[in-house]
Amino acid sequence: MDLDLSKRSKPCFKKNRTMSMGKVKNPFLKVCGIGLLTVICISVKAQKVNFTVNSKTGAIQSMNIDNDKQNMNWLIATDGSQYPWIKENYGWGLGYFTEVRRNQKNKLFWNLPASIKQDGREVTYRVGDICILVERSMRGEDLIEEYTFQNDGTEEILLSDIGIYTPFNDNYPGAQTCINMRANAHIWEGDNAAYVNAIRMGGYAPHLGLVLREGEIKSYEISERDRNKGNSHTRGIISLNLPDMKLMPGDEQVFSWYIFSHKGEDDFRQKLLERESVWVSCNKYVFEKGETALVKISGGQMVKDCILKKNDVTIPMKKQGTAWYAEVVMDQLGEVRFDILYGAGKKTHANCLVISSVDDLIKKRVEFIVANQQMKSSNTRRDAYMVYDNEKNEIYLNNTHNCNPVDRDEGAERVGMGVLLAKYYQLHPVAEVKASLLRYASFLRNRLQDADYKTFSSVDQKGRNRAYNYVWVADFYFQMYKITNDKQYAKHGYMTLRSMFKQFGHGFYAIGIPVRLGLQTLKNADMQREYQELENDYIAVGDTFLKNGLNYPASEVNYEQAIVAPSVMFLLQLYMETGRQKYLDGAKIQMPVLEAFNGKQPSYHLNEIAVRHWDGYWFGKREMWGDTFPHYWSTLSGAAFYLYSQCTGDHSYKERAENIVRNNLCLFFEDGKASCAYIYPNKVNGVKGGFYDPYANDQDWALVYYLLVQNGIY
């Protein structure tokens, strides 16, 4: 195909151009043919990236990998067939920018080419005086894309808010489709060392990688999120943001990346290094004041003359083999950005956080809940733990219009505050905390449950009857038994779970079913009959989970990390209580699926944090869609990793668990306040992100699981 549409507008790039390929450094690659479907003479393990181009837009419309048995398309379909609202204007390689000229700002898009040549290997767009040349070529197994932005006008132009659409197929139609045909896109906006590691949700290879070759990526945006556009079941359209460009007449800037297949995390990192990028890591990402950070950059011979800057203060780095490192005392509270300058004018970074101390942070949080988030007025919700509005410095009464009042009421996820306080009391028996807990226990039993232990989340008992709620209330009751030795609490916990199983059966993937805690409580309370009945219920659940395997049923979201993690957690605890090997074996099968949700980016917002992207809308004041990094339910993966370590003796999973729960501490502030979610993308649907939502809502589950991982408190 050589479709030339240049007559429509002034031609761009008058001089003959050839894509800068550099030297082929991999001696195992040999190109044996030319064209879109280049033949590679390489071992049978080669898995080349193939693509097709839309003849109308010049965008890549499909991308797959050789020898992938599923023949997965790594891109969302842009013809409306997958999602009716996702059309050709979101194709891979199209994009937008804001043109600033003579103090005038205009947002412009490139989506219709001036010319398409060589089957889409060379596409030219013209938007006003800006020409964008997109060149595609194969180097061995890799697809290389190069974008050249040129000012073809007669005056200076500033381009800002530049985004290139990269519509990775990251969405949740259902478990089986997701595991085989969808990807978790782990994005690192790491300047010159930016990348995207797209891991198949099933955790098995091949996977897809994108590594920057030339230029920078400074952030990313999410588009097309709405209750009527996939609701909680799609991540939306991802676009990668380039830095601002100031172009004089005739000036151009070039930006390019590699796209390649890989076999998993280790292989991705190796291939990243082979493509002359660098890998940055820290010994951890959240530090107590006074601890020492170890910042490391790896990248072979190209990494030289490294300079580390901590919030603009220069710190020398030491060479160790092909890597460089620096040890830095973390002596100031708050976020610490490490900028690393390396090679010929290149840079990347890592983001860490310094807190006073974990113990102080949790203490302040507990004290804040007791003093500020427990209802004290004499209405029907007295003694409930409530949502707190950090902007207004008051309890939110759930009495204004919002998107979903049931996610801001006096029960449900808010029970996590009670569970946290109960666990905290076991470590620090403070009288005020116990008094608060006793009042709360009475509120739960008398206001949110009926005589038969049917459990609601609002005192009018008119809301949805939700299986999750039973598990959390039962967890709280069992914790109260540990505090008081009052057998009545053991009974309340048991009866609450029995009510759940009676109503919802044994196939619901509830978050945080208290397997060990429940059984050990009943054993300690000398409730043998109840112990046996609950164990029978748990075995029925475990057997159902084994039968389902990776065929997870849909819940409030079709498929998500908070379905997989609870399944793994349940099976591991059941193994610990029964000693039956089949439950451990079942958990092992699911572990790669759970791990696929987690990325390895060098930031406390991202490192080992599971992909979640809807919770800020349902639970936050801003009611904003988009990636929530972190969201507290990411600690479920931490709990699963901890339990897996306990069952297998593999200490590496304990370390990963600690990293997850530690990174979630950023949701808690030094004054005792907290946030239910951090909205991470630069923009979502054009609205600025990068903020902690003002509602302290349900985030205290992060501390509940911190105390499991770090203190062993079930």
Q: Report pLDDT for 322.
A: 86
Residue indicated by tokens 């697809």? 143
- CB atoms closer than 10 angstroms to residue 129: 18
pTM value is 0.94
Handedness of CA 112, 116, 119, 120 (dihedral sign): negative
Q: What is the pLDDT of residues 314-340, one digit of tens each?
A: 999 999 888 999 999 999 999 999 999
- Contact (CB, 8 A) for 317 and 359: no
Q: What is the pLDDT of residues 472-488, one digit of tens each?
A: 999 999 999 999 999 99
Mean pLDDT of the chain: 93
Q: How many residues are there in the chain? A: 714
Cα 111 to Cα 88: distance, rounded to the nearest angstrom: 8
Per-residue pLDDT averaged across 446-464, rounded?
Answer: 95
Phi and psi at 101, nearest 5°, equal -145, 125
- pLDDT at residue 25 is higher than 70: no
pLDDT cut 70: percent of the chain above it: 94
DSSP state, residue 665: G
Q: What is the pLDDT of residues 177-233, one digit of tens each?
A: 999 999 999 999 999 999 999 999 999 999 999 999 999 999 999 999 999 999 999
Q: Which of 555, 644, 481, 460 shows the shortest CA–CA distance to 233?
A: 555
Q: Which residues contact 155 (CB under 8 A, 6 or more apart)?
A: 101, 102, 249
Cα 36 to Cα 118: distance, rounded to the nearest angstrom: 8
Cα 521 to Cα 540: distance, rounded to the nearest angstrom: 20
- Contact (CB, 8 A) for 515 and 577: yes
Per-residue pLDDT averaged across 618-624, rounded?
Answer: 97
38 exposed, middle or buried (CB, 10 Å; 0-12, 13-18, 19+)?
middle
- pLDDT at residue 342 is higher than 50: yes
Q: Report pLDDT for 46.
A: 52
Of residues 119 and 540, more confidence is placed in: 540
Cα 72 off chain centre by? 22
Question: Per-residue DSSP letters for 382-399?
Answer: TT-B--EETTTTEE--S-
- pLDDT at residue 259 is higher than 90: yes
CA angle in degrees (0–180, nearest 5) for 699-704-709: 125
Q: What is the pLDDT of residues 41-83, one digit of tens each?
A: 222 245 999 999 999 999 999 999 999 999 999 999 999 999 9
- Contact (CB, 8 A) for 373 and 383: no
Pairing of strands 677-679, 691-692: antiparallel
Cα 514 off chain centre by? 25
Cα 630 to Cα 611: distance, rounded to the nearest angstrom: 9
Q: What is the pLDDT of residues 647-698, one digit of tens each?
A: 999 999 999 999 999 999 999 999 999 999 999 999 999 999 999 999 999 9
Residue indicated by tokens 């199209």? 94
Q: Which of 581, 585, 578, 550 shows the shortest CA–CA distance to 564?
A: 550
Quickly state the pLDDT bin for 302 (edges 50, 70, 90).
confident
Cα 269 to Cα 323: distance, rounded to the nearest angstrom: 14
Strand partners, 230: 226
Question: Per-residue DSSP letters for 504-566?
Answer: HTT----TT--HHHHHHHHHHTT-HHHHHHHHHHHHHHHHHHHHHTT-PPP-SSSS-HHHHHH
Cα 471 to Cα 490: distance, rounded to the nearest angstrom: 14
Cα 327 to Cα 608: distance, rounded to the nearest angstrom: 22
Residue indicated by tokens 């190069």? 146
Q: Report pLDDT for 35.
A: 27
Q: Which residues contact 266 (CB under 8 A, 6 or more apart)?
A: none
